[in-house]
Amino acid sequence: MGPSRSRGGPSPLGVSMTSILVRVGDTLRWLLTFLVGAMLLAIVLLVCVQVFSRYFIGAATPGMAEISRLLFIWLTFLGSALLISRRELIVIDFLHDRLNADLFKRLGIVIDLATAVFLVMLIVYARHLMIVVGQKIAPATGLPFAWFYGSIVAFAGLGLFFILERILTPRISAEREATFRAAQAAAHATASQTRAAATESSAP
């Protein structure tokens, strides 16, 4: 007879799938963080060029304005997907101190499931919109309107992935969220101390 398998521990296949899911999730979070920052920088630069072109050169730049709007739409939805990955898009903070850890965990699962249902409906509706406006193009750049509405599908798809990752890897997700919240709390404390020090130094 061969060696007996451990009944209590997770199977190698389950561990492998969990590892792949976590790696893909971490890669997507890094990529979204980079894209959101790059889009924000691009929007600022485009707006500066538009202001300079209009008030100093006297030339209109409708194409740049249209690209700025497209980037802003994608920035909003990709940023929202990043918030879903951190469980910050829909948060019920006032219940945090009124519920024990087990009930608050169950509340998080309910919020995730409700969010998943909403995202599925959003994908269906966004796909319908993309079919309806599929032949239309933006007047200044000639870009198809599907590029604008595609951001909704991307947001919903990424959101569903992050919710699935959180449900299938609860321990790793909880540790990640705790680390992120601790970093946020430290940043807020540092900012508060800096403001307090600046106030004291400016006082007569």
CA–CA distance, 18 with 165 (Å, rounded to integer): 9
- Residue 119 resides in a domain: yes
- Residue 126 resides in a domain: yes
Q: Tell me which range, 19-33, 51-65, 159-173, is most confidently predicted by mean pLDDT.
A: 19-33
Check whether 197 has a pLDDT greater than 90.
no
Question: How large is the average pLDDT for residues 2-6?
Answer: 46
- Residue 162 resides in a domain: yes
Tokens of 13: 């296949």
Q: Would you state the pLDDT for residue 169?
A: 82
Tokens of 4: 């007996």
Q: Would you state the pLDDT for residue 141?
A: 79
Q: pLDDT by residue (tens digit) across 53-72? A: 888 887 778 888 899 999 99
Q: 137 has which bridge partners?
A: 144
CB 70 within 8 A of CB 148: yes
Q: pLDDT by residue (tens digit) across 108-163? A: 788 888 889 999 999 998 888 888 877 788 887 778 888 888 899 999 999 999 99
- Residue 29 resides in a domain: yes
Average pLDDT for the chain: 80
CA–CA distance, 181 with 96 (Å, rounded to integer): 14
Q: How sure is the predictor about 201, in pLDDT bands with cuts at 50, 70 and 90?
A: low
- Residue 18 resides in a domain: yes
Strand residue runs (E) in 36-167:
none
- Residue 88 resides in a domain: yes
Q: Would you state the pLDDT for residue 15?
A: 63
Question: How large is the average pLDDT for residues 154-179?
Answer: 82
CB 180 within 8 A of CB 160: no
Q: How sure is the predictor about 191, in pLDDT bands with cuts at 50, 70 and 90?
A: low
CA–CA distance, 109 with 200 (Å, rounded to integer): 45
Please compute, for residue 69, the number of CA atoms within 13 A of its CA located in the half-sphere on the CB side: 14
- Residue 84 resides in a domain: yes
Nearest Cα residue to 34 out of 82, 68, 66: 82
Residue type, 44: V
- Residue 163 resides in a domain: yes
CA–CA distance, 184 with 160 (Å, rounded to integer): 25
Query: How many domains does the structure of the chain reveal?
Result: 1
Q: What is the pTM of this model?
A: 0.76
Q: How sure is the predictor about 203, in pLDDT bands with cuts at 50, 70 and 90?
A: low
Q: How sure is the predictor about 12, in pLDDT bands with cuts at 50, 70 and 90?
A: low
Residue type, 45: L
Backbone angles phi, psi at 137, to 5 degrees: -130, 155
Query: Domain span at residue 92?
Result: 14-186
Query: Apex CA 16: angle with CA 12 and CA 19, to 5°?
Result: 140
How far, in Å, are 7, 114, 185 from residue 174 at the CA level?
25, 19, 16
Nearest Cα residue to 118 out of 141, 168, 84: 84
Q: Would you state the pLDDT for residue 101?
A: 64
